[in-house]
Every structure is written in structure tokens, then in C-alpha cells.
Structure 1
Amino acid sequence: MQPPATVLEIAQLLLRAGHESWFVGGAVRDALLGHANLDWDIATAATPQQVQKLFRRTVPVGIDFGTVGVLDKDGVMHEVTTFRRDVQTDGRHAVVEFGASFEEDLARRDFTINAIAYSPNSREIFDPFHGRKDLADRLVRAVGVAADRMREDRLRALRAMRFAARFGFAIESETWAAITESAPHLGRLSMERVQQEIEKTMQQVERPGDAFRLWRNSGAFAVVAPPLAEISDVALATLDLLPRARDASAEQTQHTVNRLTALVLDVEPAAARDLLRGLRFSNERVHWVGDLLERWHALAAEIRESVGGESWSDGAMRRWVAAIGRTRVDAFFTVLDARFAAEDGDSGPIRRGGVRALRDRAGLIALRDPLETGDLSIDGGDLMKAGIKAGPQLGSTLRALLEWVLDDPARNTNDQLLARASELAGAQHS
């Protein structure tokens, strides 16, 4: 096990100052599993005030709970948390006191696989709850009495299901029983914490459907997201066929949005918007997913019937792309491809090939062809100069011209559009 040199320096400075200190948590767990993890956290006997005095650059990220962020020489923050014990919990917040032993500190942690410590000095592993055995046995097990751990913090139920899906582990039977018993109380959690857990599951888990199947089966969805209480196995399989984000770039973030869309794909758009707002997703995320769902519910059945059947006309394709919106075309067909694959299993490669051909064609149309009134070579000002009055007639004429151009983009010239507008105006007055 080799923690980064920068975080080793922080731990060793604490030790030289006489404060017992250990590496703890996810980084130790992931190192034992052979996974990379840059977030090395330190547990220490030093109080938050002592940590702040010892290091020049600190951030009081959770000082009431004993956590101080210490910036290393590269400006990367590492959490340093004082040994603590819980003195009061309500399933949502905890009141802690300092001065606990390190063994007491580990005993308040959620799962045995997260209660393994590594000494920056002796390089020994301290594992009083046999977390390494549970790693070897591929088990998520609560520390101590599972029901007590869930009552202390209801979010642990959701975390357990994420860890199980992320690592391909089973959940130990008493821990699972405590999760299902805890499910009716998940409404005590702030919806921001639930939303963050959904986001982490989308971002960290290769097969998020496995995690959300546990949410469904435990009763968690029925409490925190009722429209998903009976989410289908097909919807969950769709999630698993969509790639997860590998970094925070815009392109990769879209992978998470696609997965979120797939999660609510069978929910009516208005109900999905309400659900996502209730879970405190950003307005931008709510609008994007809600708008894509509207297109899905309006067009997916028609497209489904077309794939593998008769070839579709260029005009029909342009109308689909115009209705979806050029900025959403790739997301729409990416989710469509995954959904068809989930529905068909191994029996539908021909239909999937048709979807991918359709996506390629739609992408080309989105880049090349006029699809919105703003793409027309004339605008409202040109029409008014041609004698069409401002008002409803102007808008209806532009929309009619767009419909005409969708059949043949070669018509998108000033002369042809003005001539067509004149014909439309004459027809209205005849």
C-alpha cells in the first residue's frame, strides 16, 4: 500500500507533533482491492484547533464534526478528522464529542470494509472488525449491530447498496434486514443527500441498475422516489448499457445525464420533472431530462415501429430530428439504442444495427439541414417587407415554410421561400 507522498507528509507531521494518526476509509479499502483512489483521509487524536495551528493552509470543512481540510503542497485538500464518538443521533444528523480512542472512532463507522486503517508510521494494517475478510468474501457488512448503524444515519442504507453494486459484493443478511427495516424511515433524509447518492451511483458504478434494483427491492424507492417504486427490470438493464462518466468534462457529464434519463424513462414527463425537483436536481438538469422525456414519449413508439421495417423518408427523418432538437439528438438515440438492447437481449442485433444507422443519419441531419425557423434563409423582417403583417400570421407562415423546407432543404433560398410565402398568403385570402 503506497499513499501519495504529499498526504504522507501531512500524516507524518501530525505524528511528529505527538498526535496518533491513521489513514482510514475508502482509500485504504480501495488500495486493498487494487483500485486507485486519490482521496486519502486521515483520522487523528489532534483536535481541529490543533490541526489548524499545525498546518498553514486549512479549510474548516466540517469543524463541528471534527473535520479540517488540509491543503498539501500541490493545493490538493485532504480531510483530517479528530477521533470521535457519537453522543446523539437522529438518523439524519449526529452530535459528536472528541477525545475518543481510535478503536471507538472505528466502531462508529458504517461498514467493516470502511473500518480498516493503515499506519503511516509502522505501515501496519489495523482491522478490528475483520474488514479484510469481508473484502475477500465480497460482502458488505455493517460494523457491530447493523440496525444500530442504520438508525444512526439512514443514508447508510443507500450507501450499502451503492458499495455492493460498485464492487459486485453481496450484502450480509443481517445488514440487508436492517436496510429493509430502515427503508420506511428514509424520508427523514434531506433530499439533497438522496440526490447526491443517486449521482454517486450513476458516476461510480458500472452497472447502476444493480444498485437501483436493491433500492426497489428494499423499499427505498417507494419512500424517496415513489414513481420509481416498481421500476422495471428492462429500465434497470437500460441503465447498465449506458457508459458512466470517467471525469468531469462536459462530454463525460452527459453520460450521467443519459443514465438519469434512462432511470425515469417510463415516468410521465410532468411527474418526472416533479420527482427530479423534489430530489433537488438543478433546474438545468430537470429541464434537460424533462424535455428529452417529452420527445421520448412522443416519438419512441413511432421510431420503434420504423426500425427494422420499411425505410423512412428523408422528410420523416428531418421531422424527427426537428422535434427532438439538434442538441438532444445524440442523447436521444444513445438512450434509445440502450433501451432496445435491454428489451431485446441477445436476440435483437438487427434492430440495434438499425437504431445505430438511424442515429448516424440523424446526427448528419442535425449538423447539415435546416430544422428550426431560425435556420431559414429569410426571417420575419423579410416577410414583412413582402407584405405579410406582424402578428400570428407571421409566425404561422414561418412554421409553414419550415415544414415545406423539411421535405426538401434545397428549397431554403430567399427567392423560393418568398415565392412560397406569397402562395400561402394568397391561399389564406382566397
Structure 2
Amino acid sequence: MADMILPDAEWQHRAGLAGLVRVLGDVRFVGGCVRDTLLGIPVSDIDLATSLAPETVVEYLKEAGITAVPTGIAHGTVTAVIESGPVEVTTLRRDVSTDGRHATVAFTDNWREDAARRDFTMNALYADPNTREIFDYFGGLADLEARKVRFIGDPYQRIAEDHLRILRFFRFLARFGDEPDGEALRACSDRANDLMALSRERIRDELLKLLVARDAVRVVELMIRRRMFVPILFVRSAERLAYLAKREAEAGIAPDPIRRLAALIPPEDVETVGARFKLSNLQRRRLQAAVARPVENAKALVYRAGQEGAVDRLLLSERPIREAMVAATWEAPCFPLTGGAIIRRGIKAGPQVARLMRQIEDQWIAEDFPDSARVDQIADELVLRSINNS
């Protein structure tokens, strides 16, 4: 059914999009780009649904000189690379079989069938690119207006099809929802142990997105009450997360998923969690550093730990919020001295040069990063003292 008109938005006029629509013909915008436009949220990714078979999509794109990348062609998805960036084009599908982790699909030309296999009603909205008419098969418009995250059909069945939908429900609730849909919440709570069947990477990716959503703290508190973390993560409470979120807001610093993960889990578990969720080495080091108590001032911390690391530690600590604000905006200078400068002052190359460099650098930091002239004075004083003591 056609219910209303999609508001005009910048993304609908991106270079090459109108040409792509003309080439493919029977297509509709679908999912996030429709949902977010209705909510007045900027759109990053554009998705198109089509009744054309994937091979036909590839053929039409190649004939039109548009690069076609078969990113997920077995599941009906082809990425069209236009002037303004990639656009995913997916053939209408219906599920043949599911096991909670993977789905076997068949292609269809029935728009309602395609909508029926999606997770939430707000994600099953389609719009005609030419007329901007919106097609809503399961009450997504009403749910979007009410900020209600609701599964399409039976929540238990949708979760059985893909267990990740449990975490997606809470992420969407944190990003778009107000009060949770009772039936959906009961189903997620009852089937929480299904999360153990998922790969740690899928859980990690969904959890990190959830932690930076608009209403993450409230939803995490709800998940703790419902024991949703028990199958995947040890979480005592959301107090540190709430504390961090408040300080981020006061400082005007954007939420960060690794920083928020550090706030959510017990400090003694950061190494275990980093390994279990297969975080990158850089993310693991950052997670471990974030829970360390800051002992230096904001600028010294930025210089030694980097801007990210300094901001993490200061926001998670009890230090004044202004220090985190300084760390977020201050750019650390380069140390304006080399080992050669020490050698030219009469020190023989070797361990003593490195020792003096560290002493000079420490004093430079303690004096709040003075200019190179003052660094030369510090070097002269310390080198002379070293020569006299030798």
C-alpha cells in the first residue's frame, strides 16, 4: 500500500543515483535511507531493492558503464559504484531455510514477501525513487512515529531465523525507541541463550554499535535487569557507563565504543574481553589503557598516551572534566631535541645519551612544553651536571 510521500533530501540528488535508477527501472529505496529520512537523520548508505535477478542487475550495469561488484550475489546483492559512491542493489528475496546464523534464500518478484523477511517494521519501508511514494506492508510508519521497535510477525520466529536480532532489537531501541514493545522484549529475554550460538565477531560488532547509540545507558540498564548479558559478557552494573556518558556530554566529546566498553566491563576483565571479542591489537591496547588511573596532567597525558588514550583515561577518572576537554583539543608538539645534540655537547654515544634525553624530555614536559630555546638551556644544564658528576 502507498501511504505517504518520502520527504526530499540531499542524498536523493547524489551524483549518478538518478542514472542508476533509470538503468535498473523497477527499483525502490529500502530500509535505513527511508527510515532515517522520515526521522530527519542524515543518510549515509543508500540501498535499493529490485525485482530484477542479480545477474540481470550486473548485465544492465555493465551495459550502462557502471561498475558492478558482486559483493553478495549468492544472496542477491550487487554493489553499483556510481560517482557519489557505492549503492547496494538487492533482489527481492524470501527465506527458504534458516538456522539462527545463516539463511538460504530464493528470489521473488513479490515486494510483500521481501518485506516479510526483514527484522523490524521500521526497516521494511520502501519508497519509489520517482514519485517518492512510501510502501508500508507491516505498520512501520505508525511504529516509527510512535518510536516503537517491533518485530515483523512473531518475535520468536524472527529470533529463531537470526539470533543476532536479539541484540539488534536492543540497539534499535537505544537508537530509535522509547518504551520497548512488550512482546518483543519477552521474546528476547526468553531466547537470550541463543546468543551463545553466534560468532563473537557478530556479537562484538552489534554490541559496539549499541554502546554509542542515543539512549545506550537506559537500554543497557534494561538489558542488565533482563540478564541479557549473561550469555555473552560479565557486566555488574551500568553505573560506570552512565558516569562516562554524562561526562562525555558535559565535555562535548562524542561517544566512543571502545571507551564505553571499558566503562561497561570490570577493569580486571579487559584483557579477557579483548581476546574473546577478537578486538584488533590496537583496540585491545586502548581498552587496557583506558582503565589505567591518570597520574599526569592532561597535556602530559596526551603527549605520552596519545589524544585518544588521554581522553579515555580522563573521562573514566574522577579528574575535572575540563582536563578531558583540554586533552580532546590539544595537539602534542614533537620533542625538539635529538641524540646528536647531546653528543655535540660532549657526551659519548651510548646509554648515557638515552638517559639524558629522557631526563631532558621529562623536564620539558614538567615545564609545560616550553620552546626549543628553553630545551637547549635544559640540555646544557643537565649535560654539564652529568660531565661534572662523571
Smaller-chain TM-score bracket: 0.7 to 0.9
User: 2:147 & 2:273 partners in 1: Cα distance?
Assistant: 34
Larger relative CO (CA 8 A, sep 6+): 1 or 2? 2
Q: Describe how 1:173-212 pairs up with structure 2 within 5 A.
A: 173-201=182-210, 205-212=213-220
- Map of 1:420 onto structure 2: 385
What one-letter code is carried by the residue in structure 1 that aligns with 2:75? F
- Which digits, 9 at most, give the CA deviation of each residue in 1:168-224, with x for residues without a partner? 432211111111123212122222222322343356x23432343344344343323
Kept in 2: contact 1:184–1:223 (CA 8 A): yes
**Contact 1:187 1:223 (C-alpha < 8 Å) held by counterparts:** yes
Question: Residue 91 of structure 1: CA displacement?
Answer: 1.2
Q: Distance in 2 between matches of 1:38 and 1:262?
A: 24
Partner of 2:34: 28
Gaps of 5+ in 2: 1-5
After TM superposition, the structure 1 stretch with the greater mean CA deviation from structure 2, 324-333 or 89-98, is: 324-333
2:53 to 47, 50, 64: 47
State the 1:402 CA deviation: 5.8
2:291 pairs, out of 290, 293, 298, with 293
Paired position in structure 2 for 1:127 = 136
2:3 matched to which residue of 1? none
User: Matches of residues 276-425 of structure 1 in structure 2 within 5 Å?
Assistant: 276-294=274-292, 296=293, 299=295, 322=300, 325-328=303-306, 331-333=309-311, 336-337=314-315, 340=318, 352=320, 355-356=321-322, 360=326, 367=332, 382=343, 386=347, 390=350, 413-422=378-387, 425=390
Task: Return closer, same or farther for 1:217/1:50 CA change in 2, 3 Å cut-off.
Answer: farther
Among 104, 115, 132, the alignment partner of 1:106 is: 115
Aligned match of 1:213: 221
Do the aligned partners of residues 24 and 362 (structure 1) sit closer, same or farther apart at CA in structure 2, a change above 3 Å counting? closer
AA aligned opposite 1:69: T
CA deviation profile, 1:251-306 (whole Å, cap 9, x unmatched): x9x9454x522431475666313312332322222223323433x3x64xxxxxxx
8 Å CA contact 1:166–1:206 kept in 2: the answer is: yes
1:428 counterpart residue number: none
Q: Give me the whole-angstrom Cα distance separating, in 1, the residues matched to 2:51 and 2:159.
A: 26
Amino acid at match of 2:379: N
> Counterpart in 1 of 2:75?
65
Amino acid at match of 1:420: R
Which secondary structure state, in structure 1, belongs to the residue aligned with residue 229 of structure 2? helix
SS of the residue aligned with 1:170? coil
> Which amino acid in the other structure matches residue 259 of structure 2?
T
> Which amino acid is the alignment partner of residue 230 of structure 1?
R
User: How far does residue 396 in structure 1 lie from its aligned partner after superposition?
Assistant: 6.0
Over the matched positions of the two proteins, sequence identity in percent amounts to 29
CA–CA distance in structure 1, aligned partners of residues 280 and 216 of structure 2: 21
- Change in Cα spacing, 1:325 to 1:220, as seen in structure 2 (3 Å) is farther
- Partner of 2:271 in structure 1? 273
- Residue 232 of structure 1 pairs with residue 238 of structure 2: yes
Q: Find out whether 1:79 has 2:44 as its counterpart.
A: no
**8 Å CA contact retained: 1:321, 1:362:** no
127, 145, 149: which is aligned to 1:140?
149
Match of 2:98 in 1: 89
Over 3 Å counting, the alpha-carbon distance change for 1:396 and 1:81 in structure 2 is: same
Report the number of matched residues.
Answer: 368
Q: State the Cα distance separating 1:152 from its structure 2 match.
A: 0.9
CA distance in 2, matches of 1:361, 1:118: 45
The answer to which of 168-177 and 406-415 deviates more is 406-415
Counterpart contact for 1:292–1:328, Cα < 8 Å: no
Task: Check the 8 A contact 2:31/2:124 in 1, yes or no.
Answer: yes
Q: TM-score, normalised by structure 1?
A: 0.72
Tell me which amino acid in the other structure corresponds to 1:185.
D
SS at match of 2:183: helix
CA offsets, 1:210-250, max 9 Å, x none?
A: 34334434434332333xx223323234135426xxxxxxx
Contact 1:401 1:421 survives alignment (8 Å):
no
User: Could you tell me which residue of structure 2 aligns to residue 222 of structure 1?
Assistant: 230
Q: Which moved more, 1:378-387 or 1:28-37?
A: 378-387
Note the C-alpha offset of 1:400: 5.9
2:121, 2:138 within 8 Å by CA — same for their partners in 1?
A: yes
Q: How far apart, CA to CA, are the structure 1 residues paired with 2:200 and 2:167?
A: 13
Please say if residues 360 and 378 of structure 2, whose CA atoms lie closer than 8 Å, have aligned partners that are also in contact. no
